[in-house]
Amino acid sequence: MTPLPSVIEAIGDTPLVELHRIRAALGLEGRVLAKLDYLTPGFSKKDRAARAIIEAARASGELRDGQVVVELTSGNMGTGLAIVCAVLDHPFVAVMSEGNSEERARMMRALGAEVVLVRQAEGAKPGKVSGADLALVEEEARRITEARAAFRADQFAREGNPDAHARGTAPEIWEQSGHAVTAFCDFVGSGGTIGGAARFFSPLGVRCYAVHPDRADHPIQGGGYSMPDLVHLRGADLAGDVTITGQEAAEHARLLARTEGIFGGYSAGANLAAAIRLLQGAERGGCVAFVICDSGLKYLSTDLWGQGNAE
């Protein structure tokens, strides 16, 4: 293998692992496959969308050489953008709620990003970012974008986000599984992964399920906000929804770590919980795939790896 021209080229083509131990421990009828996107350069699946959005904007001329890039983030998209912008010489400003874990802000700053932290809405709890919190972050991101004549990466609207998964994540899973996958599920943040994957999978007969938290007040960072409008899910051919509690997400993230040696975050735990539920119900006997969305390293300051309760 020859050296890559930059770390951007290391984004994608992540391993797919079969969870034999969890299957045996729970007596599941069927197969569970985990796509290890926490092994990307920024330790999350958002690296794919970050690369796709920036490269498309540069190719079209919408993003000029040296222009500032701004984005609202819970930390993962921001980390991906920090990496891509560092390589392509764009100053990057990440706008994030104070409710997100501190590891995320530290990592983005280490990668050269300017991180603007926005106070949470009144009554909000640290570690649990609500739709109201996200609205405040969105307001600040818009202000900074205008003030600095910046390019807004806008993961909630730009086509590069779902396209990265329609052209990358889903086809990779399909080929790596030997075309054995019968269902796919993913925790909804921007909707890019499940929306893009559904474009590829649905025509092949693979059923796609959107995973959601059971309530607005939850610890699964990066999703479940119910805003902005999830345009990437419009027209997506989804087989249904799976609702997961914060406690279930935490318990299954720990199960992944202790049983399979896979160190993922809350959303990875939510995806595993959903996959197990599907195999115990509608997808019994099938082959369910999901993504390890990000690394457990990004949650060391939270209750996920401590003694506290996830809810």
Burial class (CB in 10 A: 0-12, 13-18, 19+), 233: middle
What fold is seen in the domain 46-152?
A: Rossmann fold (3.40.50)
State how beta strands 114-118 and 151-152 pair: unpaired
Residue spans per domain, the chain: 7-44+167-305, 46-152
For residue 59 the two structure tokens come to 């190719």
Note whether 7-44+167-305 and 46-152 share their fold.
yes
Instruction: Please tell me the distance from the alpha carbon of residue 159 to that of residue 132, in angstroms, as a whole number.
Output: 25
Note the helical H segments in the chain: 20-26, 46-60, 76-88, 102-110, 131-147, 160-164, 170-176, 192-201, 246-255, 266-279
pLDDT tens per residue, the chain (311 residues)?
Answer: 899 999 999 999 999 999 999 999 999 999 999 999 999 999 999 999 999 999 999 999 999 999 999 999 988 999 999 999 999 999 999 999 998 888 889 999 999 999 999 999 988 877 778 778 888 999 999 999 999 999 999 999 999 999 999 999 999 999 999 999 999 999 999 999 999 999 999 999 999 999 999 987 788 887 876 655 789 999 899 999 999 999 999 999 999 999 999 999 999 999 999 999 999 999 999 999 999 999 999 999 888 987 544 44
Instruction: Please tell me the distance from the alpha carbon of residue 41 to that of residue 30, in angstroms, as a whole number.
Output: 32
- DSSP calls for 229-279: --GGGTT----EEEEE-HHHHHHHHHHIIIII---B-HHHHHHHHHHHHHH
Displacement of CA 290 from its chain's centroid (Å): 11
Only one residue has tokens 């609202």, namely 72
User: Do residues 295 and 44 make contact, with C-beta atoms less than 8 angstroms apart?
Assistant: yes
CATH no. of 7-44+167-305: 3.40.50.1100
Instruction: Please tell me the distance from the alpha carbon of residue 158 to that of residue 277, in angstroms, as a whole number.
Output: 32
What is the C-alpha radius of gyration for the chain, rounded to an integer number of angstroms? 18
pTM here is: 0.94
Instruction: Please tell me the distance from the alpha carbon of residue 5 to that of residue 235, in angstroms, as a whole number.
Output: 37
Burial 248-277 (b: 16+ CB within 10 A, else e): bbbebbbbbbebbebbbbbbbbbbbbbbbb
Instruction: Please tell me the distance from the alpha carbon of residue 71 to that of residue 161, in angstroms, as a whole number.
Output: 13
User: Do residues 90 and 63 make contact, with C-beta atoms less than 8 angstroms apart?
Assistant: yes
